[in-house]
Structure 1
């Protein structure tokens, strides 16, 4: 008879506040400068990034900021927004990574 799969231990997570956990999630889901060109148009990555930011603002009792981030996340998912062009392109000079 096989043993049941054990869930990861959450005791270490209990040491952190809900806000700290949300901030860690936001940091984990944020697109790094090194990945920006590769992921700037990735709808799931952008929506995750914005939804995590919304959670942080909700936990900080800033509902208007949270709503703005949730609207951004929704826009990425329903394709009503797209990534703006890179500011270093088309301005006569070469930017980093060009």
Structure 2
């Protein structure tokens, strides 16, 4: 019996550890350097990124780090934090 692509994907996912799945999710949700300016202030994107990181830290038995990331995710959602300005914009550069 031939496996369908969907069956192969499901089988692959079942073979991954919970930590590997969480790390894959964290990588998927991380803002890439080329997308930073587009998403740096997007609250849903930033909260998702931090929540995924929290799961990874929790699975690695680092509850303090997990809590920090969960607090950051919560702060993005409740609007108590905002993205800092980009360090490479708005500053005059020194020339020799």
- Shorter chain as normaliser: what TM range? 0.7 to 0.9
Partner residue in 1 for 2:52: 52
Q: CA deviation at 1:12?
A: 1.6
TM norm structure 1? 0.84
Partner residue in 2 for 1:43: 43
Partner residue in 2 for 1:3: none
Corresponding position: 1:11 with 2:16: no
Partner residue in 2 for 1:65: 65
Q: CA deviation at 1:14?
A: 1.2
Q: Distance in 2 between matches of 1:45 and 1:34?
A: 15
SS where residue 11 of structure 2 aligns? coil
Partner residue in 1 for 2:85: 85
Q: Distance in 2 between matches of 1:90 and 1:37?
A: 14
**How many residue pairs get matched?**
86
Partner residue in 1 for 2:3: none
TM norm structure 2? 0.86
Unaligned runs of 5+ in 2: 1-5
